[in-house]
Amino acid sequence: MAINMGKRDTFAQNESISPRQLYRLYVFNLLGVGTLVLPNNLAKLGKYGFISIALGVFMAWLFMWIVSEVREQKKSIYDRSFGKTTHAKMLIYDLIIVIYELSQAAFLAWIFVKLIRDSLIPDESFTVVLLVIMAVCAYALSGGVECRARVYEVVFFFVLIPLAAMLLFALSDVRLDYLMIKDRVGVDFGIADIFAGAYYVFAASISVFNILFVRERTASQIRWSVSKAILTYAGILFLLYAVLLGNFGMQIPLHRITDSA
């Protein structure tokens, strides 16, 4: 890919990232949403929450595989190589993408604003917090996709590895009786609740759709990088859920952990 090296051209504006960067980018994307949303929504399921996590992660991986196949057939969303597709159909296609991306952005913005207000600044206006988050996002986007990926490469070692280590050490404090609570499917909750939990996991992983826009990578490269990210995400989510459930059980709402942080 040719790059016009003007005054403002930097490594962060080439719109292409390596498979290694793609893996680390997706690890943070998935964990950033999953660790905020899922523990509280899965807590009532007790040990069956692990089934929801496994099902949801499998659904996310399957969705990623389907999207990567679509991308491989169409080569790239950028080059518009869609055969005889009419201009009107392309506009409809673009509109669907825009609606999807805006919906995802609105959902994530609501999550972060709610978390910040509930845990840090409850008296602050929802609008003010939202505007600050949007300003930070706009600043990050101005740096280009690789800038974000390179930043994540650095914080990967300072955030993710210590997090995994802390969770592993915390396993020694887990109460096995909390993990073996005799909850009964059909009495304490229904099978539909397990599938609802799986849906939460899948919804938190929906950003895998964005591999449709990855440039200059084959489907196999994308699948390998994102599959590793999904497995890493699943492993940390299993550890996090085991630690929280094993220390607090089903009776204590897990969002109190964030409230007391």
Does residue 12 surpass a pLDDT of 50? no
- CA dist 134 and 136 (Å) reads 5
Domain boundaries along the sequence of the chain: 30-79+148-260
Q: For residue 149, what are the CA distances in angstroms to 29, 134, 229? A: 11, 19, 14
pLDDT digits (tens, 9 = 90+) for 167-208: 777 777 766 666 665 555 445 567 788 888 888 888 888 888
Helices (H), the chain: 19-42, 49-74, 87-119, 126-141, 145-155, 161-170, 176-179, 191-204, 219-248, 255-260
pLDDT score, position 134 = 84
pLDDT score, position 61 = 92
**Tokens linked to 172:** 């020694």
The residue-averaged pLDDT of 40-68 equals 83
Does residue 149 surpass a pLDDT of 70? no
Does residue 86 surpass a pLDDT of 90? no
Backbone φ, ψ for residue 185 (5° rounding): -70, 130
Q: What is the mean pLDDT of the chain?
A: 72
The residue-averaged pLDDT of 236-244 equals 81
Question: Which residue did the predictor score with more confidence, 253 or 195?
Answer: 195
- CA dist 167 and 244 (Å) reads 10
pLDDT digits (tens, 9 = 90+) for 137-147: 777 667 665 55
Does residue 218 surpass a pLDDT of 50? yes
Three-state DSSP state, 48? helix
Lowest mean pLDDT, pick from 67-71, 116-120, 179-183, 234-238:
179-183
**What sign for the dihedral angle of Cα 170, 171, 177, 182?**
positive
**Tokens linked to 255:** 């969002």
pLDDT score, position 83 = 54
Nearest to 253 by CA among 22, 43, 46: 43
